[in-house]
Chains A and B, each alone.
Chain A
Amino acid sequence: MEPKRPDPDDLLKKVQEEEARSKRARLKIFFGMAPGVGKTFAMLQEACIRKTEGVDVVAGVVETHGRRDTMALTEGIEVLPKKLLPYRGVQLEEFDLEAALARRPHLILMDELAHTNVQGSLHVKRWQDVTDLLDAGIDVFTTVNVQHLESLKDTVAQITGVIVRENIPDTLLKRADQIELVDIPPEELLERLKEGKVYVPEQAQHAVERFFRKGNLLALRELALRRTADHVDADMRRYMVSKGITGKTWAAGERLMVCINSKPGSASLIRATQRLSEALSAPWIAAYVETGKHIRYSDEERARLEDNLRLAERLGAETAVVQGDLSTADDIIEFATGHNVTRLIIGKPAHPRWIELVTGSVLEDLVRKSGDIDISVLAGRDERDQPKPAPPARKAHLPVLAHYIWGAVTVALLTGILLPLNRHFEMADVVMVYMLGILVVASRFGRWPSLASAVLSVLALDFFFTPPRFSFAAGNLRHLATYVVMLLVGLVIGNLTERIRAQARLARNRESRIRALFRLSAELTRSSGSAAMAESAIRNVATQFQSRVSIFLPGAGGRLAPLSQAKDKQPVGQDELGVAQWVYDHHEPAGITTDTLPGAKALYLPLQGAHELIGVMGIQPVVELSGRMEPDQRHLLEAFANQTAVALERAILSERNRESQRQVDREQLRNALLSSVSHDLRTPLGGITGAASTLLDDQGTLPEPARRELLETIHEESNRLQRLVTNLLDVTRLESGVVDLVKDWVPLEEVVGSALEHMTGQLGKREVKVDLPVNLPLVQADPVLLGQVIINLVENACKFSPADQPIEIKAWATERSITLSVTDHGPGIPEGQEEHIFEKLVRFQQGEARPGAGLGLAICKGVVQAHGGKIMASNRASGGAQFLVSLPLGQTPPPPPSEE
């Protein structure tokens, strides 16, 4: 086969990876075949060299195990203090990730990559800590033995007979920028072991014998060498790609798929597929076909299935759950063809061949129907030694005793009916009736009760109806055949109905899941605003998963704050908030049922929108989950979270948009204000400057009246400027929302009086009729601002009515409010503009240009509204404009006691 040309997108991706590689933190792994080869020593040696080069080196975790020469190397290197964690009454030391991140050395030494952290640490595994350190930009040196690699677990078990429990995912090895193999000949290692220079933990003493055999060591050494070679090969390939060297470097273009189930051998099949995918450089999918069976799984099986799915993920597979409707083989092939799978990996069948006569052979079906897809059959290993995973709380659908009783009752009933009518019926008829009975029981109660009732029917038939009657004598061969057939029928129908019912249950489950999702989606579509959406999301998730739910959204500076909480309104603790913050910072789930902070009270999922991380959702089940969530529940939860995230993103973006729009509006207003104001300021200023300069330049030639006139101009225009500035200041204050009302009990009479007093100059000879009833109640208002309102209204009236027409000010009170009216005898307000005039910068050119920036009425409105009142304008029937200001009357204070 000729090598394929590289895909340009692929190439680009590789180049980008390469670039990213050069910028990020470096991971160097000191790799060895067994404990005692000297990995820690080698790591420390290199660390010391780096230190002399001036690199900031810190020892995060270095296990010297008391070996003097190793300890000597640690001198001079700063050791990060460990943190103490209580565990079962004892204080244990553990690596302090937070301290390391805070310290931010250039390089940190982390021994024993596969170590499991003490309970209470942020992460369950040390390799997760290392990932965090790398993400933070800190270079890491670490050590690991070949047996800890996830993908080699079975191989190592095969070689040494020891099953290693602490594993690291292979992706970490791929992430490593350098792998240094620390290698010594096995003979030398055995020498060292004899001299006591190899550290073996207490618990493993008994395994030492088995492990440290020369044959084992040789095999392990080869494994380690091969792994390192693979890594170098990958490096080389990358190099060749980047340099454009062709050759036997292009991947075969394969795509693998392996089927996962809940059987123990599945895990090793997954690992074998991963190795194959490595060898072929092909992506791989791990699929689980969901038939009705999983509902009947025991807790252990369910847990194993979940474990297998997670294992596949960790090893780098794309996982998928295939909804099985047809036969298993057809489902698999349909999925495979849909995803361009080129090779199916399946395990060798473990059951004896005769069973296949009944259930059919999936392998056979696959081989025959796979068409263009290759099939690889691999041997799996049965790992019964796997530690039992923690089971979830779930009830299974087991047949109830009552069902059996019903079955027996049916048979009894039929017997009771048939017995007296025996004379009228043939044997064959009786058999048919019993068959009917079995059918009914099968359809209602399932496989085992139907079998039981079949047996009972056979017995009844034999006892009551076959000669010799009332005895269990066998009768002749013909009857025997009948009995067998009846049993088989019962079995087969029972099986069928069982499967149908299981599928029906599955369909119902799926339907309810989809319905729940649809409900959520519909509610989210209907809600507007992120708060409402969050509320409905919380409600839906809480109901569906029977938990307490909270959503956290980022506030200023990326710190999370809970948006709203479930009905019981329990405040979120600082610890929980910390976990949520971690999830937000790292974009990964944490909490119960995960590997990070499993001791938290709830599960925290990141809410990932299309463009950014929206926030975090916390789910705390009411019934305590002890370690696992079933795959379908987990998927559904994630689907809910996704929906919520997308909807919230939409709401948040639209809110941001509106805010931007508001800002734009404000900007526009400000600009308009500026331009109009600058004009209005310049006009009077022009008058003043002109008059003043004329007066200054005057050498005494100007007649007195002219001088007088110029001086008056200056005075008037200054006053106008003063009024304009007042208005501008008021508007600015109102706009900024800082209206500090200094409220007091004021008689309206005083406010009107002082306002008119203020305007004496402006009013001139204008007649102002004031009609205020004597016992007008006191109104709660800011006297200065309210005075300004009256001034503005009267000014307005002056502007828009002829100088010889009076202005009227009236007031009256009702029980709830007090109303003031200012009316003029001018032309009134243009039709339809009664509301519009209260907006800023609205002016009317009527005849000559009216002075004023058009702010006066807007200020009136702002002030009146700030007092909780209303202002409106209308035209009087008798001509002229009328402005009404109504202010609410609170509790009028009691009048002073009478003195006489």
Chain B
Amino acid sequence: MSQDGPLILLVEDEPQLRRYLRVTLTPHGYRLLEAVNAKEGELMAASHHPDLILMDLGLPDLDGLVLTRKLREWCTTPIIVVSARGQEQDKIQALDEGADDYLTKPFGSGELLARIRVALRHRNDPAAAPAPVFQLGDWRIDQARREVSVSGRQVHLTPNEYKLLTTLVKHAGMVLTHHQLLKEVWGSVQGAQPHYLRVYMAQLRQKLEVDPARPRHLITEPGVGYRLRTE
């Protein structure tokens, strides 16, 4: 095991899931710390300063949401929450409280590794200094010149659409809740009607995606928000 491998803190009470994660993540060079409940998790986060925290929302002693809030009071470590299907509200709340991404049980290893990669990338490359030119598949987004092109063809975006796209780019690979997007693009949630977001996303898809109905990059996370998929 490489000493330089990122340290991941697992806060998970189910032993099978812990085993699965251990078995999956270790071969990819990640070091693992395991906590079986929220209290342990908090202590370990404080004492070991992990690079990433994988947290189950359904912990026995404390609601995952509350733990997220508590952690965010003092640490900026990326947090990925794990929850079951049908608990969109919990996910949204966790994301709004400061979690960076989420995974829905049961998840495949591909998804798991992708999310971890994205989260770590953002940590190591804080959004403070983004690359001026962002490339994704056929897309080319030049933030310095405010130009967007698909397969070389320039696409005209309205200011709001552009803002929306760049916000997604800023958090490329990670999910953003409706709330977060509205705040970033429109400033306040009150300033805009929530459905504006849908409309603009639809417009972006129209303009940028080959098949707007089956987007490759502008992914909808049903009930939660949107994600710019990078892999």
Contact = CB atoms under 8 A, between A and B. Distances in A.
A751 interface: yes
B89 interface: yes
B49 interface: no
Interface string A714-748: 00001000100010010000000000001011110
A750 interface: yes
Interface stretch (B2-10, B14-22, B32-40, B209-217): B209-217
A206 to B, nearest CB: 86
B213 A747 contact: no
A373 to B, nearest CB: 84
Given A749-B212, A770-B214, A784 B198 contact: no
B222 A745 contact: no
Interface in B176-205: 192-196, 198-202, 205
Interface in A771-809: 772, 774, 778, 782-784, 787
A783 B214 CA distance: 16
Interface string B143-164: 0000000000000001110000
Contacts of A772: 213
A896 B212 CA distance: 20
A479 to B, nearest CB: 113
A752 B202 contact: no
Nearest to B198: A747
A729 B86 contact: yes
B198 A746 contact: yes
A667 B119 CA distance: 49
Interface stretch (A278-286, A592-600, A753-761): A753-761
A754 B220 CA distance: 6
A9 interface: no
B86 A896 contact: no
Contact of B213 (A745, A770, A782, A896): A770
B25 interface: no
Contacts of B200: 896
- Residue of A754, A770, A895, A899 with highest tally of chain B CB at under 10 A: A754
Q: Report, as a range, how many residues of chain B touch the other chain.
A: 20 to 34
B196 A896 contact: yes
A813 to B, nearest CB: 14
Nearest to B215: A753
Given A778-B198, A783-B223, A899 B205 contact: no
B63 interface: no
Contacts of A751: 220, 222
Interface residues of A, number: 31
A896 B159 contact: no
A718 B105 CA distance: 13
Given A745-B195, A770-B214, A893-B193, A900 B222 contact: no
- Residue of A747, A753, A782 with highest tally of chain B CB at under 10 A: A753
B165 to A, nearest CB: 14
A773 B215 CA distance: 16
Contacts of B212: 749, 753
Nearest to A718: B106
Given A742-B89, A749-B205, A778-B198, A784 B213 contact: no
A745 B205 CA distance: 17
Interface string A198-212: 000000000000000
B195 A893 contact: yes
Contacts of A745: 194-195, 198
B206 interface: yes
A316 B213 CA distance: 89
Given A747-B198, A899-B158, A784 B219 contact: no
A751 B106 CA distance: 21
A726 B85 contact: yes
A58 B71 CA distance: 67
Interface string A147-184: 00000000000000000000000000000000000000
Contacts of A756: 213-214
Interface in A863-900: 893-896, 899-900
A722 B106 contact: yes
B211 A750 contact: no
A899 B223 contact: no
A784 B199 contact: no
A895 B199 CA distance: 8
Contacts of A778: 195, 198-199
B88 interface: yes
Nearest to A787: B222
B156 to A, nearest CB: 10
A584 B221 CA distance: 59
A496 B71 CA distance: 107
Given A742-B89, A893-B195, A899-B158, A757 B202 contact: no
- Residue of A749, A778, A899 with highest tally of chain B CB at under 10 A: A749
Contact of B192 (A744, A787, A896): A896
Given A750-B198, A896-B192, A784 B222 contact: yes
Contacts of B202: 747, 749-750
Contacts of A782: 223
Nearest to B209: A753
B57 to A, nearest CB: 16
A782 B86 CA distance: 11
B158 A900 contact: yes
A726 B220 CA distance: 20
A640 B133 CA distance: 90
A756 B192 CA distance: 30
A757 B219 contact: yes
A753 B198 contact: no
B213 A753 contact: yes
B224 to A, nearest CB: 9
Contacts of A899: 158-160
A787 B196 CA distance: 21
A746 B192 CA distance: 16
B85 A750 contact: no
A894 B194 CA distance: 11
- Residue of B86, B205, B213 with highest tally of chain A CB at under 10 A: B213
A754 B198 contact: no
Given A745-B195, A896-B192, A754 B222 contact: yes
B199 A753 contact: no
Contact of B223 (A726, A729, A784, A894): A784
A784 B88 contact: yes
A788 to B, nearest CB: 9
A133 B221 CA distance: 71
A62 to B, nearest CB: 64
A753 B214 contact: yes
Given A742-B88, A746-B198, A752 B206 contact: no
Nearest to B213: A770
A595 B157 CA distance: 89
A896 B193 contact: yes
Nearest to A895: B199
A749 B213 contact: yes
Interface in B118-162: 158-160
Given A778-B198, A783-B223, A757 B214 contact: yes
Nearest to B219: A757
A750 B220 contact: yes
A219 to B, nearest CB: 89
Contacts of B89: 742
Interface string A504-539: 000000000000000000000000000000000000
A188 B89 CA distance: 93
Interface of A: 718, 722, 726, 729, 742, 744-747, 749-754, 756-757, 770, 772, 774, 778, 782-784, 787, 893-896, 899-900
List the 6 closest pairs (A to B, CB-CB), nearest first: A745-B195, A770-B213, A750-B220, A896-B196, A783-B222, A784-B223
8 contacts: A747-B202, A749-B205, A752-B213, A754-B220, A754-B221, A770-B214, A778-B199, A899-B160
Given A742-B223, A782-B223, 18 more contacts: A718-B106, A742-B88, A744-B194, A745-B195, A747-B202, A749-B213, A750-B202, A750-B220, A750-B222, A753-B213, A753-B215, A753-B220, A754-B220, A778-B199, A784-B86, A784-B223, A896-B200, A899-B158
